[in-house]
Amino acid sequence: MRKESRAGAAAGRARWYLVYTKPRGEATARVNLERQGYTAYLPLVRQPRRRLGRRVSIISPMFPRYLFVHLDTETDNWAPIRSTLGVVSVVRFGQRPAAVPDDLIENLRRREDEEGVQVLPAERYEAGARVRITSGSLAGYEAVFQATTGRDRVQVLLEVLGRYTRTVVELAAIEPAR
């Protein structure tokens, strides 16, 4: 019977780790890691882009140049990962691989739609939807959602003195109006 210390048992359990990939090599790295029998996870996100003057939606990695791989420090062979096509290295802090909390991966997977693409909070709002501003100097006011303007900001129309005025607020500062 093998006797393990608590530290040994915790170190030997399977966890998610962060893998650094070549530029635009996330999908290649994922496919090649899976071919070798590893469990890999690449969160994807839908992003609006302009192509030839038209707005199109593209699907790209949520974390460019990174993906996650599920490994056991005692039983899995980590050596082939570094030489996998598309992979640069396993992210490390000193000599230790960077472990990722399991609940982060679970939360990411829960936010995926049926196509496996992340549904970001801003995608909950459609142009014309009524929203309430929850923080900042405009807290308590209702507005009309217009569009996302950046990573964490949205544009809304605020009614002031009978006229609509465009303003930009933090995405985290709005919620659907009841």
Tell whether 22 and 81 lie within a shared domain: yes
Query: DSSP secondary structure string, 13-41?
Result: SEEEEEEEE-TT-HHHHHHHHHHTT-EEE
Q: Tell me the H-state helices in 36-120.
A: 79-82, 102-110
Tell whether 92 and 63 lie within a shared domain: yes
Tell whether 133 and 79 lie within a shared domain: no
Could you tell me the CATH number of the domain that includes residue 158?
A: 2.30.30.30
**Which pLDDT belongs to residue 2?**
31
Q: How far apart are CA 23 and CA 72, in angstroms?
A: 27
Q: How far apart are CA 19 and CA 67, in angstroms?
A: 5
Q: How confident is the prediction along the chain (178 residues), in pLDDT tens digits per residue?
A: 333 333 334 445 889 999 999 999 999 999 999 999 999 999 998 876 667 867 677 889 989 999 999 998 788 888 899 999 999 999 999 988 999 999 999 988 988 888 888 876 655 778 888 998 888 888 888 999 998 876 678 899 988 777 888 999 888 788 888 7
pTM over 0.95: no
Note whether residue 4 is domain-resident: no
Q: How far apart are CA 167 and CA 146, in angstroms?
A: 10
Could you tell me the CATH number of the domain that includes residue 99?
A: 3.30.70.940
Tell whether 93 and 159 lie within a shared domain: no
Q: How far apart are CA 54 and CA 60, in angstroms?
A: 18
The SS3 assignment for 86 reads: coil
**Which pLDDT belongs to residue 7?**
38
Dihedral of alpha carbons 80, 23, 108, 98, sign: positive
Is 136 within 8 Å of 169 (Cβ atoms)? yes
**Which pLDDT belongs to residue 122?**
58
Quote the domain boundaries for residue 74.
Answer: 14-119
**Which pLDDT belongs to residue 51?**
76
Is 78 within 8 Å of 19 (Cβ atoms)? no
